[in-house]
Structure 1
Amino acid sequence: MNLHTANPNLDASATHAVVTFRDVTKHYGDPAAPVRALEGITVDIHRGEFTAIMGPSGSGKSTFMNIAAGLDDPASGECHIAGQPVHRMDDHQRTLLRRSAVGFVFQSFNLVPTLSAAENVVLPFQLAGRTVDAETRRWIDHLMSTLGLAERAAHRPAQLSGGQQQRVAIARALASRPQIVFADEPTGNLDTRTSPEVLSLLRTAASEYGQTIAMVSHDPVAASYADRILIISDGRLVGDHGRLSPSQISELLIGTEVGAA
């Protein structure tokens, strides 16, 4: 399978999308009384946008991200990443697609403690058997400088602050220029001073580098940095909004929780 050939059967709206869901459903547990994590979701995540995915606890937003990133299978429906039919791929094919098209930023940073900051950034290239050529090295050096890590490149994670560790994780996610970066509660372990810095970096990645970002978050302040806000409740997409203030987002979430009660 050529992982870089777009699927010609996708509808026109999906041609400008990095991730497409078409009537995606996901159930867990006893088939006689299933837990409906996702129920018939159809949506596109657009290229170059910073999208926040929100909802109450247990709403299905993490399941949404896992399927969108090729980490989980839908029970039915179609999911495409960069035009590729993830729902029809086996585990090996999905692994190759994630290595070439997807970056991740997690709440827990997920850095290798025995490696330096610079070594953590290039680790995905080594795992994928890819050579870091001169152009890529210049890009990585630019990222490290932009993220304020140039003087910390030789330091191991234990020698870095939480904010610096998350910056390393962001540099690692951006280094291969992926089609999309998934950020799962990226500021969850950061203090109130550092969180805005990290969110501004993600905002810059979208606005200046054209990077597509999909962030799962419960925090209205974090989501206010996004271009677009998707709200999931009881496994259904119940809101699709443009950029909003933290107070507007809070009101939407309160309304979602009241509606679900």
Structure 2
Amino acid sequence: MITPPTTRSDGTVVSFRQASKSYGTGPGAVHALDNIDVDIRQGEFTAIMGPSGSGKSTFMNVAAGLDDVSSGGVFVDGQPLHTMDDTARTLLRRRRIGFIFQSFNLVPTLTVTENITLPFRLAGQQITQDEQHWIDHLVRVLGLTERTGHKPAELSGGQQQRVAIARALAARPAIIFADEPTGNLDTRSSGEVLRLMRSAATEYGQTIAMVSHDPIAASYADRVLVLADGRIVADHGRLDAQQISGLLLTAEGVVA
């Protein structure tokens, strides 16, 4: 039996317990996650890294309830994803999980304001006065006040990603998953977006898990998890880009 973690009271937001994920059976089976045990804590900005095929994308998909584990358990905000059906997982994602994607994933026909408030509309929720104050604050802090009536095509890449960050933060989710969030941005915009994510964790206590291959991006995180062959091979506090590059080279050696 999988024992749930002591969530929330000890600051744990996501927990993997002997979690494994395999594709296929027999000798040709691919073990994308191999008996993972790890916790992600409240207000922590975690970078998830590893060589191609290491399992980092599967890690994120399983943690976000987009995929099932083959064995073991995954808990988000105290809820056991591994025992939920698709409908329950969808509701949990809408209410407690935010996403930031490399490709921004904004709706092109909607304005900035409409994109930011889209999670509320999808969940069929009326925005409360308190929530509206929070959204207005995000718009100001992210420098979008003069852009609220614009559509994505009228914004730069950096501005589009700021809208995506505002959308992810708007519903105050338990955790935000960021999938290569700076992959389509220039150096200046990348730094701006990473600093905003860093501030979200530091100033607002937002929990963020970011999948990235970029040591510079990962250097903004509080914690660096490195996967290789579906296993966690390194788990460190904040590191600089050079140190992270060294970890990745070691992980490449594990895979080889």
Alignment of 1:23-172 (within 5 A): 23-172=18-167
Counterpart Cα distance in 1 of 2:68 and 2:108? 31
Counterpart Cα distance in 2 of 1:259 and 1:85? 31
| Total equivalences in the alignment | 255
- Percent of pairs with identical residues: 64
Instruction: Give the CA deviation at 1:12.
Output: 7.6
Aligned residue identity for 1:255: T
Match of 1:189 among 178, 184, 191: 184
For residues 169-194 of structure 1, the C-alpha deviation after alignment (integer angstroms, 9 at most, x for no partner) is 00000000000000000000000111
Counterpart Cα distance in 1 of 2:51 and 2:9? 28
Instruction: Give the CA deviation at 1:260.
Output: 1.8
Counterpart Cα distance in 1 of 2:190 and 2:237? 22
Match of 2:210 among 215, 221, 224: 215
Q: Report the RMSD for the aligned CA atoms in angstroms.
A: 1.5
- Aligned residue number for residue 243 of structure 1: 238
Distance 1:134 1:13, change over 3 A: closer
Instruction: Give the CA deviation at 1:150.
Output: 0.7
Instruction: Give the CA deviation at 1:32.
Output: 4.2
Counterpart Cα distance in 2 of 1:99 and 1:231? 28
- Superposition TM-score, scaled by structure 1 size: 0.95
Instruction: Give the CA deviation at 1:115.
Output: 0.3
Aligned residue identity for 1:238: V
- Superposition TM-score, scaled by structure 2 size: 0.97
Unaligned runs of 5+ in 2: none
Unaligned runs of 5+ in 1: 1-6
8 Å CA contact 1:82, 1:179 repeated in 2: yes
Counterpart Cα distance in 1 of 2:26 and 2:171? 40
Instruction: Give the CA deviation at 1:255.
Output: 1.1
**Superposed structure 1 runs of 4+ greater than 6 Å apart:** none
Instruction: Give the CA deviation at 1:256.
Output: 1.0
